[in-house]
Structure 1
C-alpha cells in the first residue's frame, strides 16, 4: 500500500495474497461457527490456543518468526484486524489484545524461562491492564502502585474491563512508580507473579473473555518494568534488534510515552476492526435489498433504502482510508500518528454504530432475530466506541494535536 513517501490506495500483491488467504481460512473455519459460538459466551483458554495455532499457519501471531513479518509491515496487522472482524469481532479482540507477549523477550530471565517456550509456539496469551474501577478515560488517576523492594516491584491494585484477563498468561500492567512518581508498565506473568481474575459479561464481543485483575502484593522482577526493558533494548543495539518490528515504529517511543505509542497501534487496529464490522453489515444489506420484495418490487429500488446504503458505504470507505492512513504514519514513525490514530478510531467506531443500525433497519424484523448476524454486528459495533479510549477522549486528543501545546482539555 505504501511506496516511498506516497500512500497508494491499492494493496500490494503481497498484501492481497495475505488477505485472500486469510479470507479463505475465515470462510472455511470461522464463519460457519461464529454465530452459534458467540452465543455461548467467552472462549475458553483451550479454544483461544486452538485459534492461535491455526492463525500461526497463516503467519499471524506474536511468536518471533511470525512477528518478524506481521509487525515489520503494520499493514498486515491492519488487514488482519479488518478481515477477522468482518467475520467475528470477538476473535479479533482475543488476538489483537494479546500483543503484550512481545515484550517477554525483553523481560527478566525468570519471565523468559517460563514464557518463551510458549511464545515460540504462538501459544502465549497476553492482555493490557490499564482501566481501573475509578479510572477509565483519565489514566492520570490510576491507583495501582508499584513500589520497589530490593530487586522486585510490589504491585497493588485492581484492574477492570480487561480483554483476555481470565485467560492471559502475561499482563502488561499500567501502574504508578512510587520511586519516580510517574507511570510505567510492568510485565506480570502468571507463573512467577500469579494474579487472580474474575469474569465480566458485556453487550457485545461476547466470545472475547473480559474480566477484572486483582494485584495483591504481586511481586515482579525489577527488569520487568517497561521503561527498563526499553532502555535495555536501546543500549544493546536498539529496539529493532530486540524486537523484530519495523525500525520506524520504534521511533514513536522518542516522541511519546510508551502507553501513547502502544495506543497508536491499538487505535489504528480498532479503526480497521470497526471497518470490518461495517463492511459485513453493508454486504448483508446490499444482498438483502436485492432479493427482499415489498409493494411488488425489490426494496433496493426504494430511494430511502438507497440513501441508507449510500451513507453506509461512505462511512465504511472513509473508515478504511483513515485506518490505513494511521498505519502509514505509524510505519513512518511520524509523530502525527497519535493524531491520525485517534481520528481514525473515533470516526470509524462511531460510524460502524450508524452502519449496523441502518443494516438492522433495512432488514426489518429479521435484523432483530438472533438467527442472523445483524444483531451481533450491532452489539459488537456498540462496544467499539468505548475501549482503548472513548470517542470523547479521541476528540480531545485530536483537538490538542491540532491546536498544539497549551490547549489540552485535560487541564
Structure 2
C-alpha cells in the first residue's frame, strides 16, 4: 500500500481539524451552512472532502471560521492537494523525511554526546505505553504525528548519546516497541509505507537488543499489516515465522497473540484447518498464562480479545453460525470508549449476518459502522465500511439494505475532483 496521495492527505488534515474542534461531520456541515447562509451542504459532502474526493475551495473561508484554523494554512493545504504547493501544513512528514539516513541505528563516530542512564529510558518507556493507551481510544490520523516524532527522538537519542551496555539495550527495546506502535498507528492512518518502515526499524532494534518476543511481536504486526493489504503470502510467512521466533518459552500471553495472528493470516489465505488449529493453540497458550509476567505491550491480550479473533476468523471462513453469537456477546460487553474497535467488530458482525441471510440486521449494523467511520481518522474503519457495503450489495432488493446503499453507496466510488 502506498502513502496517501495529496488529496487523501488533505482529507486526513481536514478531519484532524474537525476532530480537534469537537465536531462530527454532520455538525460541521450544519455550522458551515449557518455561517455561509447556504443550506445545501450535507454530511456526505464533508465525508467526500475528508476522503480526498473533492477539495472544498469555495468553503475554505467558512471552514477557517468554524474550525478556528488560519485561513492561510487552509489555502496552502488546498493548494498542496491540487498539486500547486510543496508541503501540507500541519501534516506529519513521512518517516523517510524524519529519520536519519544510512544505517538508522548505527552509533555516530563523532565524540559521544551527553550521557544517559536507565531512568531516562524508563521515562521513554512510559511515553511509549502512553501512546499504546491513547491508541485504544483515538484513531491513527490523530496519533501519527506524535508517534513519528517520538520514534525520531528515540533514534537520535540512541545514535547521539553515550550510555553503558544495559542502558543501550534498554533503549533499543524501547525503539523496537515504538516501531511497533508507530507502525500500527501509521497503518490505521492509511500510511502503508510508513507502517512498513516503522516495523522494519523496530525489528532491527529488537534484534540488536536480543529480545525474541519483541522480534516476534514486530514480525507478526508487519505480517498482519501485509495480510490486510493484499500481500497474503508475505503476511502468512511472517505470522508463522513470528510463532517460531518467539519459541515455546515466550510468555504465554505473547504466544497466544502470535497464534491468533497466524490464525488470521491462514484465514486470509483461505486455509481453514490451519486457521482453526492456530485458534485452538492461542486459547491453550492463554489457559497456561496464570500470573506469569508478560511484556507491557501485551497488556490487552485476554480471553475476550481471543474471542474477537475467533469470530473474525469464522467470518472470514464464511462460518456465520459460529461468528454471529461470539460477536454479539463480545459487543455486549465491550468498552464503548474504544470506538474504533467497536466499529470494526460491528463490521464483521454485519458481514456475518449477511452470510447468515439476515440482511435487515446486517443493514442495521452497517449504519453504525458507517456513522462511526465518518467521525474518526482511521483507514481501517473506512475500508471495513466499504467491505460491508460491497457485501450488502447482494441484498439490494431488501428495503433496509437499499436505504443504506442509497445513502452511502458513494463511499465505494471516489468523488469528482
- TM-score with structure 1 setting the length: 0.28
The structure whose Rg is larger is 2
Higher strand share: 1
Higher relative contact order (Cα pairs below 8 Å, separated by 6+ residues): 1
Higher helix share: 2
- TM-score with structure 2 setting the length: 0.28
